[in-house]
């Protein structure tokens, strides 16, 4: 197997390490997998230079596809390395394999470095374009989000400590633990046991935008909060409920849900501004579904709700529910067992009184509806660990184990008001987060966990710089350069590319000549060091040709070696530019001459003896 084939197989192997990280739910992922398999077959049977050249080009294409699928810092570094290997293989094919692997890699690095100004200009100025393209089983739920809540059929809660989102703040100050509520979904439909979304609730269209009114205005200020959300099956994204999104592919629904107009199974980076502005979605009137309650189910709950409805004002009914929750022996646990009977919410509120956030939110929301107060369930995350970074700053690490459910009630004079009955029963769950399972070390105190958290912080910053540079940032940059004269952007782009080429190409040629000359000089210096060991040194101001002739007279046995040394160096250093093969051959001749000088005896035989 030739050297360039080994480089190609190594590049293909590095790309294969990224396969477990891609989501096979995206059609582009299967395209990448097929391309990788075809490249492996092609590389296995390739023999001619043209076939190997096509294999290298295929590797570059696959690298570009993987960059679109996995834009994170870690995959980007692997993609950069595969690009370097593919370019080195192409150079080896074009130069006939005359260069060593280290030299090939060095030249490929210089090519990549020379391309960086062009990439930067294209990244900054080329207009952005849009994208081209769960219910738990059995008797166990997993922390994380589904699009429904089934109160009576969940027997156990299994913590899944996988990443959900990372949040950075412009002021480097996260909210206190009790204020870390990150909303994702709202559930309105209730059949006495199960809560679900309404049909069409997550549509991203003109109807949703007009219904939300001012809530859908896109933010234009400075970024105050940056999110990096992991892939999900839901067409919505987590957010704090405050501020305006900077991304035009995001909209806020009338229910305060952040709608995503991109494939939900890709990692999403997005920012917010105007965090202190009033949230207009909170003033959107309730739907009729916010009062629906199935008649005949959970009769004890309905009776208690009617009692409050007949005697108390809406705000007082909420306060009465809080007093009632605090007066009952409720207990928070992740292992509540199944709820018995045909009325599961009644069984929880009046019999078992044992459960976790979904039980408490379901019971309270149903009570409010029975009491005539519009109410809905909100699914999202509560909590997150603040991770300080070594270089300063930090980010909030939100995990799937931080999944949470709470309630919102409508009060005419206040709008939608958040109520979390879990905080009444178990305040520690809100301030300290989900309990750590027995035998597990908190990730902050594990050396490996700490290292991974630091790496995730670096990845977050990288994503904020690259993926966070959206269409609005680009327009702001163009306006700083051109004002309102956007029609000149094409001229600026072409002129910038021409300037980059005018600077980069001469610099590459000069660097290459300096590198070749410096390599020759190093070989010459090594030869002069060996001659010094033989007692032969140039006189002050003596040029190389005169020195070699004089040294040859003193050492006739080295006369041929010294003559070739002078001719090789002087022709290569001061003669016309030579092709790459000739420069390589000159360096090899100097190295061979140095080896001959190393074998020369310390003193020449005396011809007079």
Q: How confident is the model at residue 193 (pLDDT cuts 50, 70, 90)?
A: confident
Question: How many of the other CB atoms lie within 10 Å of CB of 467?
Answer: 16
Length of the chain, please?
A: 609
Task: Reply yes or no on whether the pLDDT at 266 is more than 80.
Answer: no
State yes or no: pLDDT of 368 exceeds 90.
yes
Q: How confident is the model at residue 214 (pLDDT cuts 50, 70, 90)?
A: very low
- Residue 230 scores a pLDDT above 50: yes
Per-residue confidence (pLDDT) for residue 328, from 0 to 100 = 93
Per-residue model confidence (pLDDT) at position 315: 94
Strands 331-332 and 354-355, bridge-based pairing: parallel
Percent of the chain with pLDDT over 90: 23
Please check whether residue 318 is in contact with residue 409, taking contact to mean a CB–CB distance below 8 angstroms: yes
Give 603: exposed, middle or buried? Use CB within 10 Å, 0-12, 13-18, 19+: exposed
- Strand pairing category for 268-273 and 258-260: unpaired
pLDDT at 463 over 90: no
How many angstroms separate the CA atoms of 587 and 594, rounded?
A: 11
pLDDT tier, 319 (very low <50, low <70, confident <90, very high otherwise): very high
Look at residue 256 in the predicted model and tell me its pLDDT.
93
Cα–Cα distance between 158 and 161 in angstroms, integer?
A: 10
For the segment 168-185, the average pLDDT, to the nearest whole number, is 91
**Residue that the structure tokens 């790496």 belong to:** 455
Q: What is the pLDDT of residues 502-540, one digit of tens each?
A: 776 676 665 555 555 456 777 787 888 888 888 888 888
Residue 327: what pLDDT? 94
Does pLDDT of 270 surpass 80?
yes
Among the ranges given (146-150, 385-389, 571-575), the one the predictor scored with the smallest mean pLDDT: 571-575
pLDDT of residue 131: 44
| Listed range (197-201, 333-337, 356-360) with the worst mean pLDDT | 197-201
Mean pLDDT value across residues 226-233: 84
Looking at residue 282, what is its pLDDT? Answer: 93
């Amino acid at each position: 197997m030739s050297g360039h084939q080994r480089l190609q197989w190594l590049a293909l192997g590095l790309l294969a390490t990224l396969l477990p990280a891609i989501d096979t739910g995206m059609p582009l992922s299967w395209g990448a997998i097929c391309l990788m398999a075809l490249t492996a077959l092609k590389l296995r049977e390739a023999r001619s230079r043209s076939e190997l050249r096509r294999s290298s080009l295929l590797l570059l294409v696959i690298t570009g596809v993987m960059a679109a699928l996995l834009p994170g810092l870690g995959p980007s570094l692997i993609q950069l390395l595969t690009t370097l290997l593919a370019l080195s293989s192409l150079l080896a094919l074009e130069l006939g394999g005359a260069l060593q692997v280290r030299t090939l890699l060095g030249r490929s690095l210089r090519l990549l470095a020379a391309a960086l100004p062009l990439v930067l200009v294209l990244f900054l100025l080329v207009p952005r374009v849009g994208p081209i393209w769960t219910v738990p089983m059995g008797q166990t739920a997993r922390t994380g989000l589904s699009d429904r809540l089934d109160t009576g059929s969940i027997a156990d809660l299994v913590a899944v400590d996988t990443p959900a989102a990372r949040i950075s703040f412009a002021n480097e100050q996260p909210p206190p633990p009790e204020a870390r509520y990150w909303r994702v979904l709202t559930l309105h439909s209730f059949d006495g046991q199960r809560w679900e979304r309404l049909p069409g609730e997550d549509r991203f269209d003109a109807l949703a935008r007009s219904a939300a009114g001012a809530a859908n205005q896109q933010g234009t200020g400075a970024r105050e909060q940056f999110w990096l959300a992991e892939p999900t099956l839901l067409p919505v994204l987590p957010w704090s409920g405050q501020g305006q999104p900077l991304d035009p592919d995001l909209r806020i629904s009338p229910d305060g849900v952040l709608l995503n107009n991109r494939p939900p199974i890709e990692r999403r980076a997005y920012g917010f501004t105007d965090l202190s502005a009033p949230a207009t979605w909170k003033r959107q009137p309730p739907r009729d579904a916010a009062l629906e309650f199935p008649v005949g189910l959970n009769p004890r709950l309905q009776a208690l709700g009617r009692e409050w409805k007949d005697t108390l004002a809406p705000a007082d009914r909420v306060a009465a529910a809080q007093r009632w929750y605090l007066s009952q022996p409720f207990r928070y646990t992740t292992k509540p067992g199944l709820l018995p009977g045909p009325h599961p919410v009644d069984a929880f509120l009046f019999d078992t009184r044992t459960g976790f956030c979904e039980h408490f939110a379901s019971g309270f929301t149903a009570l409010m509806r029975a009491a005539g107060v519009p109410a809905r369930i909100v699914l999202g995350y509560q909590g997150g660990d603040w991770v300080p970074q070594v270089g300063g700053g930090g980010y909030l690490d939100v995990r799937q184990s931080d999944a949470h459910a709470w309630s919102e009630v409508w009060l005419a004079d206040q709008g939608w008001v958040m109520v979390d009955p879990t905080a009444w029963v178990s305040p520690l769950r809100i301030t300290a987060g989900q309990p750590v399972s027995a035998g597990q070390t908190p990730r902050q105190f594990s050396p490996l966990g700490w290292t991974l958290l630091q790496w995730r912080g670096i990845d977050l910053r990288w994503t904020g710089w690259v993926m966070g540079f959206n269409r609005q940032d680009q327009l702001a940059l163009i306006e700083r350069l051109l004002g309102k004269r956007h029609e000149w952007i094409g001229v600026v782009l072409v002129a910038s590319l021409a300037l980059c080429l005018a600077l980069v190409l001469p610099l590459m040629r000069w660097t290459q000549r300096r590198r070749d000359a410096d390599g020759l000089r190093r070989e010459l210096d090594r030869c002069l060091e060996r001659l010094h060991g033989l007692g032969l040194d140039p006189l002050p101001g003596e040029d190389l040709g005169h020195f070699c002739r004089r040294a040859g007279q003193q050492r006739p046995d080295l006369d041929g070696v010294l003559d070739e040394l002078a001719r090789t160096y002087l022709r290569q250093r001061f003669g016309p530019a030579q092709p790459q093969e000739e420069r390589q051959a000159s360096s090899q001749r100097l190295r061979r001459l140095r080896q001959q000088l190393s074998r020369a005896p310390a003193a020449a035989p005396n011809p007079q003896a």
